[in-house]
Amino acid sequence: MAMVEKKVPYEVSGRQFEGKMVYDDNVKTRRPAVYMQPDWKGIDADTTGQAQEVAGRDYVVLMADMFGKGYGDKPKDQTQLRAGMLAVHKDRPFTLACGKKAFDTMRDEADKRGLIDPAKSVMIGYCAGRRLCAGAGACRRAVQGDRGVPRHQPQSGRA
C-alpha cells in the first residue's frame, strides 16, 4: 500500500483551513469518499492514522479541518483542547459552514483527480467531530449509537 496524505487548503470568512485527503495511491479505480470530522485534536498524527485505517484500499478519506490551519501541529493539554472544542461548539453555524466548505472543496479535488465516485459518500466523526457530523447533513451520515462509527471496522460496500 502507498498511502498518500494530500493537504487541501480552503478559506471560510477570511480564515484559513487545511483539510487532508488520505488514500492508497496504488488503487486506480474510483472509490467511495468517507468524510471525516476528527476529534478535538484536529488533524494531527493520531487522527491521520485513524484516517489511514479507514481508507485502506477501499475508500478515500476527506478529513475536515474544524479549527484552522496548523491547529493539530502542536500537542495540547486538556485545557487547550477543551478551549478549542468550545470555540467550535459556540459558533455552530460557522462550524457547519466550514464543514460544508471542507467537504465541497475536498470532494471536488478528489473527483478532479479521479479518486472518488462523488455519488458515494458517507460521514464519520469522533467525539466532537461526531456531534458535528450528526447535524451537518453534507452527505449521508454513518453514525451509530452515541459513539460514532467504530474506527477499526471499515468494510467494503458500506457507502
Please give the domain boundaries of the chain with CATH numbers for all domains: 3-136 (3.40.50.1820)
**Residue carrying C-alpha cell 451509530:** 144
- Percent of the chain with pLDDT strictly greater than 90: 58
Average pLDDT over residues 111-124: 91
pLDDT band at 118 (very low <50, low <70, confident <90, very high): confident
Residue 154 clears pLDDT 60, i.e. is over it: no
The residue ranking higher by pLDDT, 113 or 131, is 113
Bridge partners of 16, per DSSP, are 11
CA distance 26 to 137: 31
Residue 40 clears pLDDT 50, i.e. is over it: yes
pLDDT band at 11 (very low <50, low <70, confident <90, very high): very high
CA distance 28 to 58: 11
pLDDT band at 135 (very low <50, low <70, confident <90, very high): low
* Dihedral sign from CA coordinates of 147, 125, 139, 131: positive
- Percent of the chain with pLDDT strictly greater than 70: 79
Question: Longest Cα pair distance anywhere in the chain, in angstroms?
Answer: 43
